[in-house]
Amino acid sequence: MEEELNKNQKNSRRQFLKKGLIAGAGVAIGSGLIAAYVDATATETGEKVKVLTTDGEIMEVDKGLLKLPRVSREESHHGIPGRKFVMVIDLGKCKNARKCVEACQKGHHLPKSQEFMKVYLLQDSEKTSPYWFPKPCFHCDNPLCVSVCPVGATYKRSDGIVLIDNERCIGCKFCMTGCPYSTRVFAWKHYKEFEDDKEPYSPEAGSPGKEGTVSKCDFCPDLIRVGKIPYCAAACPMGVIYFGDVDEDTVTNGTETFQFSKLISDRAGYRYLETLGTRPCVYYLPPVERQFEVDRGFNNLDPVIQERYKDTPYSKKNKK
Amino acid sequence: MDPQQKNPLRDFAPQLERTSIQGYAWIAFLLGVIGLGFYAFMDQVLNGHIVTGMRDNVVWGVYIVNFIFFMGVSYAGALISGTLHLFKTAWRKPVIRMAEFITVISLLIGPCFILLCIGRLDRLPYLILFGRIQSPITWDVIAISTDIFGCFIFLYLAILRDLATLRDYELLQLPKWRKKIYKTLALGYTGTPEQQERLNRATDIMATMVIAIAIIVYSVLAWIFSVTLQPGWHSTIFGPYFVIAAVYSGSAVLIISMWVFRKVYHLEEYITKKHFVSVGVIMLVLAAFFGYFTFSDYLTKWYGSEKNDELLIQLLFKKFYWPFIISNYVGVLLPLIVVGIARFRTIRNITLTAVVVVIALWLNRYIIVVPTLESPYLPIQDARPEWLNYSATWVEWSLTATGVAVFCLLFTLASKFITIVPVSGIEGEGKKEDVLI
């Protein structure tokens, strides 16, 4: 794979690093970006982190200096210039470890009852095989949620990301009925987890949450800005979730990097419910050549989570 | 005889002048219900929408059902009063004012229910400040405010003659301030031929406008649902279907209010069986249309059987069996039988049918809203029962009761302010029936 990558896209890869996306499993950002995002008031923690500069050199910086940037509400309306983000989820590798869900909840300061990333146990029909289906927001190119919002609180950016401005949202929930993928969640009350976030609100961080408003998976643009991949992609122990850029034609899960178009064509990637015409930016690789039995997904599950799947056709059949 | 004695107002003056003990008790009861609703509302404001039965899948519940219901009743009032006026229907006079009151009062209540659905009431001005014309909610804001404006003007034009009559009737035993209100509101109308002509023309124009606006507003409301991709909502028939269902529910509410006011204010002489049968026939025709639209909608969903439509229909025939049967079978067939067969056609039967129709239509909106939200494209996988199935909490029921109570209260107060049957134009010695019916 590595060989193929080198052959196919030496140039593209260099560009890829220059633009400061990801290299390696750890944090990797360009030195220019560090200067831009270092918080002058931040205190040094003494803990050093290795980062990769645009020149391909590894350097160490203090962790305390790597505070995530929070752009203003106004700025969050514009996408990151020249980018078009995409996610690829390999269903053959998912075993419902739920690390994506947990990392996302931690990163966005969410209560347990709010999940931006949800893992479903799906089975398309009686005879077909069941599979685990992690579902983030699809960041559709034809997003109905954006069309129906009466106040422009949810918007599509030039980089493909669909965001919500929780300081504009009036909580009418029309977007929630508009979304055919049940992606959006509502803050039915004030959750104490919202208070964990002491930073000022930014739609790019999707945090701190606000009572009476709608929120959802945001593709973590605050992480992207410092060259990281979203929480879910970085946290997955199986490397199920790949994140990248359509224009650069590259996706990575932090350890492996692929040419997006080739990956999709080789592995028969598809978009969920394509017929609805929403044009999602999240692609799935079919659940073939499984690395795990479906049942492995039930291992070590919180009983409350386990309970979720008891009414699925697969669980019912197993019981019999 | 003193001309003041001949004034038909003498029959109606008591309902304006005096309120019986039962009347006060009724108002106190309504205020009690409203008080409880206020408490529920404060609970929702202080503790968040978590106090309702709504959750991430069923994001709209009884509030939206009430919203559709009251708006429906309202547009129906507008359509019925507008049409009766334009066609100069002979028997309309004793009932037309009720229809106008129903229109305006339910139009004031309906939008309050959508406000209860909104998570951030403090940001309500954003609807105007940052309004996006692409959103069907913005269409609704524009349409409903136009409708409120139009219906108020229509009602005002319709009561202007009576306001002048009340102003001129010296025997009216009312406090000075109330007479002053009549005087101000009557705008110096004295009934000169020129004034008459202008008023008639204005009323005709407004009656036409109100009919058009009502159709537009209710279609827009239906489009809030049908523009989404949700199974069961994404239907081209929804616009006309909602309009028909609305007028249908309005005709039933009109019959019920005719019965109530006839009893309370002893209007047996004015509101006769003929009126019940006439409005009953309107209800019958609408029942047939409503049944036709319902059948057409569900037949196409069931016959083609797309996966999600199939799941929805399964849900309707299992979990929502009784609401489905009551709203789409009983609610359609009962008026056809009771009004259609002469033998059953009594005032009491028609009124009882109207009550069933009102309940059926409320349930109809419920099974449009809730089952669809309970059967999304991705199956709901959740361990929390309230996340799986919607069931309204006491807060929602109490605020629903408040909506009905406010409707009754405003209707009662309106009937204390101006006669429930128009009195102008029925002066003279002739028999009441000749003039009225």
Enclosing domain of residue B204: 3-376+385-436
Q: A234 and A196, same structural domain? A: yes
Contact status of A145 with chain B (Cβ, < 8 Å)? no
Tokens read off for B253: 């509410």
Number of domains in chain B: 1
Q: Is the CB of A150 inside 8 Å of chain B's CB atoms?
A: yes
Token digits of residue B225: 């649902």
Chain B: closest CA distance from residue A182 (Å): 7
Task: Tell me how far apart the alpha carbons of residues A31 and B245 are, in angstroms, rounded to a whole number.
Answer: 65
| Residue B316 pLDDT grade (very low, low, confident, very high; cuts 50, 70, 90) | very high
In chain A, which residue's Cα lies nearest the Cα of B231?
A180
CB-based contact, A279 to chain B, within 8 Å? no
Q: Are residues A238 and A265 in the same domain?
A: yes
Mean pLDDT for A295-312 is 89
Average pLDDT over residues B258-267: 90
- DSSP, collapsed to helix, strand or coil, labels residue A85 as strand
What mean pLDDT is reported for chain B?
89
Structure tokens given for B237: 């028939």
CA distance B163 to chain A (A): 41
Strand partners, A86: A244
Residue, of A129 and B92, whose pLDDT is higher: A129
Question: Do A131 and A196 fall within a single domain?
Answer: yes
What is the number of domains present in chain A? 2
Q: Is the dihedral of CA B36, B38, B41, B43 positive or negative?
A: negative
Residue B433 has a pLDDT of: 44
Please name the residue of chain A whose CA is at the shortest distance from the CA of residue B369.
A177
Q: What tens digit of pLDDT does each residue of B369-381 get?
A: 999 999 999 999 9
The answer to whether A312 contacts chain B (CB < 8 Å) is yes
The band of A268, judged by pLDDT with boundaries at 50, 70 and 90, is very high
The Cα B408–Cα A171 span in angstroms is: 30
- Three-state secondary-structure class, residue A249: coil
Helix or strand holding residue B85 (H, E): helix B62-86
Question: Which token pair is A14?
Answer: 């260099």
Q: Does B123 touch chain A (CB under 8 A)?
A: yes
Please determine, for residue B346, whether its predicted confidence score (pLDDT) is greater than 70. yes
A214: CB partners within 8 A, 6+ apart: A153, A154, A164, A166, A169, A171, A173, A175, A176, A184, A185, A186, A187, B119
Instruction: Give the tokens for residue B163.
Output: 């306001």
Comparing CB atoms, the residue among A148, A186, A212 nearest residue B227 is A148
CA distance A273 to chain B (A): 9
Which ipTM was obtained for this model? Answer: 0.89
CB atoms within 10 A of CB A173: 22
One domain, residues A45 and A125: no
Q: Which of B130, B229, B381 sits opposite A309 (nearest CB)?
A: B381
Q: Which domain holds residue A131?
A: 75-285
Assess whether A84 and A231 both reside in one domain: yes
Does residue B319 belong to the interface with chain A, where contact is any CB pair within 8 Å? Answer: no
- pTM score of the predicted model: 0.88
Residues A81 and A33 in one domain: no
**How would DSSP label each residue in B143-179?**
HHHHHHHHHHHHHHHHHHHHHHHHHH-TT----HHHH
- Summarize pLDDT for B59-97 with one digit per residue, the tens: 999 999 999 999 999 877 788 888 888 888 778 888 888
Q: Is A297 domain-assigned?
A: no
Mutation target vs B (from A101, A151, A169; most B CBs, 10 A cutoff): A151
For an interface test with B, the pick among A170, A181, A210, A302 (most B C-beta atoms closer than 10 Å) comes out as: A170
Express each pLDDT in B398-426 by its tens digit: 999 999 999 999 999 999 888 888 887 54
Task: Tell me if A149 is assigned to some domain.
Answer: yes
CB atoms closer than 10 angstroms to residue B114: 23
Chain B's closest residue to A116, CA to CA, is: B56
- Name the residue facing A144 among B49, B56, B229 (closest C-beta): B229
Q: What is the pLDDT of residues A183-222, one digit of tens each?
A: 999 999 999 999 998 889 999 998 899 999 999 999 999 9
Same domain, A104 and A228: yes
- For tokens 């004012």, what's the residue? B97
| Residues A60 and A113 grouped into a single domain | no
Q: Nearest-CA neighbor of A205 among A225, A189, A191?
A: A225
Cα–Cα distance measured from residue A181 to residue A154, given in angstroms and rounded to the nearest whole number: 16
Taking the Cβ of residue A276 and every Cβ of chain B, the question of whether any pair is shorter than 8 Å is answered with yes
> Does A296 fall in a domain?
no
Residues of chain A positioned with their CB less than 8 A from the CB of B57: 182
CATH number at residue B308: 1.20.1630.10
Is B127 in the A-facing interface, judged by CB distances under 8 Å? yes
Report how many Cβ contacts below 8 Å link chain A to chain B: 134
Give the pLDDT confidence of A48-67 residue by residue, as tens digits.
767 666 566 777 776 655 67
- Whether B133 has its CB under 8 Å from any CB of chain A: the answer is no
Of A87, A91, A107, the closest CA to residue A99 belongs to A107
Inter-chain residue contact A152 with B379, CB threshold 8 Å: no
How many angstroms separate the CA of residue A48 from the nearest CA in chain B? 41
User: Is the confidence at residue A2, as pLDDT, over 80?
Assistant: no
pLDDT of residue A35: 40
Does residue A292 lie in a domain region?
no
| Calpha distance A215→B337 (Å, rounded) | 51
Q: Assess if residue A309 is contained within a domain.
A: no
Residues A111, A239, single domain; the answer is yes
Q: Is B59 on the interface with A (CB under 8 A)?
A: yes
Q: What is the pLDDT of residue A37?
A: 46
Q: How far apart are CA B234 and CA B226, in angstroms?
A: 4
Do residue A230 and residue A144 come from a single domain? yes
User: Can you tell me the mean pLDDT for A105-131?
Assistant: 93
Residue A215 lies in a domain: yes
Q: How far apart are CA B40 and CA B52, in angstroms?
A: 10
Of A283-287, B159-163, B202-206, B232-236, which has the strongest mean pLDDT?
A283-287
* Contact at CB, B228 and A273, closer than 8 angstroms: no
Chain A: residue nearest B46 by CA?
A: A189
Looking at the structure, do residues A114 and A56 belong to the same domain, yes or no? no
% of chain A residues with pLDDT over 90 = 63
H-run or E-run covering A186: strand A185-186
Chain A: residue nearest B142 by CA? A150
Name the 3-class secondary structure at A245.
Answer: strand
Q: What is the CATH number of the domain that holds A260?
A: 3.30.70.20
Taking CA–CA distances from B58, the nearest residue in chain A reads A177
In a domain, A307, yes or no: no
Q: How confident is the model at residue B178 (pLDDT cuts 50, 70, 90)?
A: confident
Say if the Cβ atoms of A171 and B119 lie within 8 Å.
yes
Statement to judge: residues A120 and A11 lie in one domain: no
Write the CA distances from A273 to A134, A138, A182, A277, B359, integer angstroms. 15, 11, 13, 8, 37
How large is the average pLDDT for residues B213-228?
Answer: 93
- Residue A318 inside a domain? The answer is no
Model pLDDT, residue A31: 38
Interface test with chain A among B52, B120, B389, B390, by most A beta carbons within 10 Å: B120
Angle formed at CA B143 by CA B142 and CA B149, multiple of 5 degrees: 90
Taking the Cβ of residue B229 and every Cβ of chain A, the question of whether any pair is shorter than 8 Å is answered with yes
